[in-house]
Structure 1
Amino acid sequence: MNGLNRSSQESLPTSQQVEHSHNHSTDHEHEHPDHAVQGDSVHPHVHSEESLRRIVNRLARIEGHIRGIKTMVQQNTPCPDVLLQIAAVRGALDRVARIVLDEHLTECIARAAQEGNIDTEIAQLKAALDRFLP
């Protein structure tokens, strides 16, 4: 199969298959290092363990997919096949970014609005989007 193994051929989940869990009975807090560097007030970002698990699992699948692409290149797989797999990884990364952004908007921005520091949070989000978007 031109150097493709089964795991690198499996299609990555679509955005319609993504489920969001906002059950915060087992919350996880982390601080974003960029916040401290920018000198803005640092607040904890709280995400459910289930949400973190789903994101980490998606990233692990993407990591495996990238290893599959590396194998394809090492085995001289035709370039169009390699490019197709790279496009699949790009799409999967975009879906992970969408999940992270969606959770940030629904959880972190909403929390900042309730706490009265929405302006700082919006400024930080804009700065992150400036780095993320081409």
Structure 2
Amino acid sequence: MAIAKPGHSHNSSVSAHSHGADATQSHGHVHNPESLQRILNRFARVEGHIRGIKTMIQEGRPCPDVLVQIAAVRGALDRVARIILDEHLSECITRAAEEGNIEAEIDELKAALDRFLP
């Protein structure tokens, strides 16, 4: 969990994560409890799917079958990323605009997208 910077309140009903490679250069982000649970549930499904792929490989299942499952995991990760990006755009960018920080926030988002997108 990231440490909140001054001016950002966090309580036990929300969780924070940091955007960017260095938490000291970033703001914290608060997920509402419903969104946090949705994200965690999706990651739990991805974890289970990956364990299933590992089992397929150990059992000697055909490569095309394994590749189909890998593609499914990629899609699931892309959907989680989309949820996080949507939240960032609706929450963080809006807050940055209100605080007069929009340029720094956009630069941070661009850097994150450069690392995320192929």
TM-score under structure 2 length normalisation: 0.81
Q: Which residue of 2 aligns with 1:69?
A: 53
Residue 93 to residue 73, structure 1, CA distance change in 2 (3 Å): same
1:89 to 55, 62, 73: 73
Q: Which residue of 2 aligns with 1:79?
A: 63
Residue 102 to residue 33, structure 1, CA distance change in 2 (3 Å): closer
Q: What is the one-letter code of the residue matched to 1:43?
A: H
Q: Which runs of 5+ in 1 are unaligned?
A: 1-25
Higher relative CO (Cα under 8 Å, sequence separation at least 6) belongs to 1
Looking at structure 1, the residues matched to 101 and 63 of structure 2 have their Cα atoms a distance apart, in angstroms, of: 49
Question: 1:1-134 maps to which residues of 2 (within 5 A)?
Answer: 26-32=13-19, 34-36=21-23, 40=25, 42-134=26-118
Looking at structure 2, the residues matched to 119 and 51 of structure 1 have their Cα atoms a distance apart, in angstroms, of: 26
Q: What is the one-letter code of the residue matched to 1:125?
A: L
Q: Which runs of 5+ in 2 are unaligned?
A: 1-12
**Is the contact made by 1:35 and 1:124 (CA closer than 8 Å) also made in structure 2?**
no
**Is the contact made by 2:18 and 2:27 (CA closer than 8 Å) also made in structure 1?**
yes
Looking at structure 2, the residues matched to 131 and 97 of structure 1 have their Cα atoms a distance apart, in angstroms, of: 12
Runs of 4+ in structure 1 displaced over 2 angstroms? 26-37
Q: Which residue of 1 aligns with 2:8?
A: none
* 1:12-55 Cα distance to aligned partner (Å, 9 max, x none): xxxxxxxxxxxxxx443344463545xx4x43322201111110
Q: Percent identity?
A: 71
